[in-house]
Amino acid sequence: MSGKCSYNPTFSHVYVEEQVKELPLTKEVLSNLPSSKIIYIKHYKDIFNRKKQDYRAQSKSRSLILAANKGNLIFKGSDMCQDHGNSRFFYAAGVMNCLFDCDYCFLKGMYNTADIVLFVNLEDYFDKVKRMLSDGPMFLSVSYDTDLYALQGIADIPSRWIDLAKVNLDLTIELRTKAHPKTFVPLGNVIYSFTLSPQKVISSFERGTSSLRGRLDAVKEATDAGCKVRLCFDPLIRVRDWESCYNEFMDTVIYGVCWDKVYDISVGTFRISAEYIKKLRRCCPMSEVTEYPFVNSEGYSKYPDEIASSMRSFILKRLPEVIDEGKIFCDSDGSVFGDR
């Protein structure tokens, strides 16, 4: 034996459903991955749903699957989702899994693989949204269970959604990210949401995402461009020295953001469906964030109430210094919304 093996780079293998090989988004993605091995397949589930997949091994060399979503395209946001007061709140399921790799991500509990499916039949999504708009205005989170900007090097999907919003003013879209988007388009019905975390949390648990500095720069670019910006202090993570960690973080954020241009803010502590926690730990064993002795309550694994509320209060007591309290949304009523 001559030594340890080298892993293939991310997306060294792209599995492409035969039926989508001529779609424009497929061509765009493949043109951005010229060295990848392309393997044509019948159905994405033949790969994505294989049994006994090893997330930890696969996460060292993730594959991309390009497919058509023939099932549900747009989902109603569950009661557990923070809807920021929007009654017709929906999310688009355009990608399964995420190229970023946050230790606490609920997707690890949801899926059995590290591979990523990108549904390239975007026109079907757009048609569906246009039909739904005939029932009234809607709020649509388009990167609710993935981070679309993580894929911006291979496909500019956010721009396509923004183009749709541009001509459908009853549609408000939210683009949530831990990345630094390359471009910003100021539209009244497009909200750029940035998840902010202390650098220590980013370095330890949010692999592949932008640094705090990068995210704050992105926030500045977005507000300077006149975009609607939402800041998400969510999930708050209980690290050992969390008070000093979050104190330093809040100092940085408070001085680094032009607050009068911030549209609103959400605050929430980490919580995850109790069904997912076992699998999450298997994917990220011996991680401070997954190994926490959570309490189980109403089907969710979460921090004990007194700890969660002290973490929330810690952030909330700093925010009124800089922003109108009416703009702060919070999970203090115990609502639970995925990873965020």
Partner 1 sequence: MIALFFAMKGEADPYIDALGLKGAGDISGFKIYSDDTYILCVTGMGKVNSACAVTRILSLYEGKIDIAVNIGTCAGEDVGRTYIINRICDIDSGRDLYPDMLYKSPFVEISLHTSDRYKKDSVFEDDYGPYVYDMEGAAFFISASNFLSPDRILLFKTVSDPGDPDIVTADYCRSLLEPSVQDITALIGDIVSSFEGDPYLAADTMACKYSEELHCSEYMRNDLNRLIRYALSSGVDIASYIDERLPIRDRIEGKKVLEDVRKMLL
Binding site for partner 1 (CB under 8 A): 1-8, 12-13, 15, 18, 37, 39-42, 46-47, 50-54, 56-58, 60-61, 63, 239-240, 285-288, 290-293, 304, 307
Count of positions on this chain that bind ligand SF4 (CB under 6 A): 10
The pattern of x and - marking residues 88 through 127 that bind ligand SF4 according to CB under 6 A reads ----------x-xxx--x-x--------------------
Quick one: 184 or 303, whose CB is closer to partner 1? Answer: 303
43 vs 14: CA distance, rounded Å: 13
Residue 11 DSSP one-character state: T
Asked, as a colleague might, if the bond just before 158 is cis with ω within 30 of 0, I would say no
Query: Shortest distance, CB of residue 16 to partner 1, whole angstroms?
Result: 10
* Contact partner, 146, from partner 1, ligand SF4, none, Cβ < 5-8 Å per class: ligand SF4
* Contact partner, 107, from partner 1, ligand SF4, none, Cβ < 5-8 Å per class: ligand SF4
* Contact partner, 239, from ligand SF4, partner 1, none, Cβ < 5-8 Å per class: partner 1
154 vs 270: CA distance, rounded Å: 30
Q: Quick check: 339 binds ligand SF4 (CB under 6 A)?
A: yes
Query: Shortest distance, CB of residue 337 to ligand SF4, whole angstroms?
Result: 12
Q: Is 38 helix (H, G, I), strand (E, B) or coil?
A: strand
Query: Shortest distance, CB of residue 167 to ligand SF4, whole angstroms?
Result: 28
* Contact partner, 147, from ligand SF4, partner 1, none, Cβ < 5-8 Å per class: ligand SF4
Q: Which amino acid is residue 38, in one-letter code?
A: I
* Contact partner, 53, from partner 1, ligand SF4, none, Cβ < 5-8 Å per class: partner 1
Q: Quick check: 147 binds ligand SF4 (CB under 6 A)?
A: yes
* Contact partner, 47, from ligand SF4, partner 1, none, Cβ < 5-8 Å per class: partner 1
146 vs 105: CA distance, rounded Å: 10
Q: Quick check: 178 binds ligand SF4 (CB under 6 A)?
A: yes
289 vs 293: CA distance, rounded Å: 10
Task: Give the H/E segment covering residue 199.
Answer: helix 199-205
DSSP string, 208-257: TSPPHHHHHHHHHHHHHTT-EEEEEEEEE---TTHHHHHHHHHHHHHHHS
Query: Shortest distance, CB of residue 332 to ligand SF4, whole angstroms?
Result: 21
Query: Shortest distance, CB of residue 299 to ligand SF4, whole angstroms?
Result: 20
Query: Shortest distance, CB of residue 269 to ligand SF4, whole angstroms?
Result: 14
Quick one: 41 or 132, whose CB is closer to partner 1? Answer: 41
* Contact partner, 37, from partner 1, ligand SF4, none, Cβ < 5-8 Å per class: partner 1
Residues linked to residue 159 through DSSP beta bridges, in sequence order:
none
Please report, as residue ranges, which positions from 20 to 79 form the binding site for ligand SF4 (by CB under 6 A). Answer: none
10 Å CB burial of residue 335 (0-12, 13-18, 19+) is middle
- Of 79, 208, 94, 80, the C-alpha closest to 144 is 94
177 vs 222: CA distance, rounded Å: 13
Query: Shortest distance, CB of residue 41 to partner 1, whole angstroms?
Result: 7
Cα–Cα separations (whole angstroms), residue 210 to 44, 117, 147, 198: 29, 22, 12, 12
CA angle (209 as vertex; 205, 210 as ends), nearest 5: 120
Query: Shortest distance, CB of residue 338 to ligand SF4, whole angstroms?
Result: 8
- Of 101, 85, 105, the C-alpha closest to 270 is 105
Is the distance from CB of 246 to CB of 198 less than 8 angstroms?
Answer: yes
Residue 299 DSSP one-character state: T
Q: Which residues bind ligand SF4 (CB under 6 A)?
A: 98, 100-102, 105, 107, 146-147, 178, 339
